[in-house]
Amino acid sequence: MNISLAKNDLISALQIVSKGLSTKPQTPILSGIYMTAKEGQLELQTTNYELGFILTIPAEIHNTGTAVLPGKYLTEFARKLPAEEVSIDTDSADGLAVIQSGAARFTLRTMEISDFPVLHRMDGTLHFTIKDRTLARLVKKSAFACLREEQRDRRPIFTGCQLEVEGKEVTFAATNVHRLAVKSEQLEEDAGQIRVIIPAKFLEEVTRTVSSEVPADIHVTCSYNQVSMSSGSIYMTARLIEGTFPDYRRVIPREENIRTKVTLDAASFASAVDRASLIARTDQYNIVKLSFAQGLMRISSNSPEIGEAEETIPAEVTGDDVTIAFNASYLMDALKSLDSDTCILSLQGSNEQGVNLSPMTIREEADPNYIYVVTPVRTH
């Protein structure tokens, strides 16, 4: 393989595909970038078996061919090259790739081509197309509620979002057991029926990678164990998460059970929770207490070692007076996902002991297709 190409094209491509490199690979080849030069294009591939990337960029091909180069060093070299043009030549018999730009010349030892698990564009049974901005809204309003990646050993199924398609409606649902986020959008065409669990990490990577000023189509393909998303010259793939997602609809409180509704300014609520959590986060449960009565919401937190915080903000309260406590982080995460100026909190009644342990919902006026459900915490 012997090619010339624009340095900026190479750097941009490496920034994307390097996310698929394995940082601590059990198999050294997974730290390599698989490169194929043909027909006026350079194709780059990376995979760590969880995520996979294929990206093509224009290049002047002097000799077609394939090579695997160490991803970390190639990326670092590319960033520091002095000229706007770069050439990569892997045709020598000594196993060295020669990288030249201006007066600078580097050599990199190539890796064994036959060891690389080459990615092939999948031909799944289920296909649909979604706008990049639509996917971004779905991911923004759901993925944050998943279990964190480092906790995946406990319940891997909760590190992903359930993608559910019914005709033209697409719904993402995510939970870590203590909270649930559900967001729906409309597709432009009927996509049949799909229900799979996609790693949240993959979805967030797709929305970061495929974001443009001009709206773009993302083509989604699912097989029984894999998903791919592609747009333009970028193709990304991941393993689906095995298992059955819980029936989240049973968790969403029914309208007839709501005893209290609160409408308030979302930014004021978020700021007050943020301030109260300065005290609350010193405790492992990060608890803030909310009290609703007579046109006000009172937010408080306390720590025996640190002190107390208390604040009231105006709120439109209808129904019973309520006092209830939550993990402050779970409230903040939901409020950050909102696009409206106001939010609506809905609460169910207390139990026979006068304690309210029923989930609360957070909705927004501008988006009836979004709901967040959060479980309260006991304070005594």
Give the model's confidence band at 355: pLDDT under 50 very low, under 70 low, under 90 confident, else very high. Answer: low
Pairing state between β 234-239 and 258-265: unpaired
Residue 156, pLDDT above cutoff 80: yes
Q: Which residues of 319-346 are buried (b: 16+ CB within 10 A; e: fewer)?
A: eeebbbbbbbbbbbbbbebbeeebbbbb
Q: How far apart are CA 186 and CA 171, in angstroms?
A: 9
Q: How far apart are CA 54 and CA 166, in angstroms?
A: 29
Mean per-residue pLDDT, 161-179? 96
Name which CATH class applies to 126-248.
Answer: alpha beta
Q: In the chain, where are the structural domains located?
A: 2-115, 126-248, 252-374
Nearest to 97 by CA among 64, 74, 72: 74
Q: Summarize pLDDT for 59-88 with one digit per residue, the tens.
A: 999 999 999 999 999 999 999 999 999 999
Residue 25, pLDDT above cutoff 70: yes
- Residue pair 297/291 in contact (Cβ under 8 Å)? The answer is yes
Query: Does the fold of domain 252-374 match that of domain 126-248?
Result: yes
What's the pLDDT score for residue 15? 96
Average pLDDT in the chain: 93
Residue 353, pLDDT above cutoff 80: no
What's the pLDDT score for residue 84? 96
Q: How far apart are CA 144 and CA 163, in angstroms?
A: 15
Q: Which residues of 302-311 are buried (b: 16+ CB within 10 A; e: fewer)?
A: beeeeeebee
Residue 105, pLDDT above cutoff 90: yes
What's the pLDDT score for residue 303? 86
CA distances from 209 to 17, 51, 271 (A): 10, 13, 30
Residue 117, pLDDT above cutoff 60: yes
CATH number, span 252-374: 3.10.150.10
Give the model's confidence band at 152: pLDDT under 50 very low, under 70 low, under 90 confident, else very high. Answer: low
Name the H helices within the chain. 7-17, 71-80, 132-140, 200-209, 266-280, 328-337
Residue 12, pLDDT above cutoff 90: yes
Query: By three-state DSSP, how is residue 5 classified?
Result: strand
What's the pLDDT score for residue 354? 55
Instruction: Compute the residue count for the chain.
Output: 380
Q: Summarize pLDDT for 281-314 with one digit per residue, the tens.
A: 777 778 999 999 989 999 999 988 889 999 999 9
What values do phi and psi take at 375, rounded to 5? -85, 135
Mean per-residue pLDDT, 36-49? 96
What's the pLDDT score for residue 28? 93
How many C-beta atoms lie closer than 10 Å to residue 259's C-beta? 16
Give the pair of three-digit tokens for residue 220. Answer: 């989604």
For domain 2-115, give the fold: DNA Polymerase III; Chain A, domain 2 (3.10.150)
Give the pair of three-digit tokens for residue 274. Answer: 């943020």
Side-chain-side CA neighbours of residue 273 (13 Å): 24
Residue 328, pLDDT above cutoff 70: yes
> Does residue 126 or residue 310 have the better pLDDT?
310
Give the list of residues 6+ apart from residue 68 with CB closer than 8 angstroms, or none: 29, 32, 33, 34, 35, 110, 111, 112, 113, 115, 116
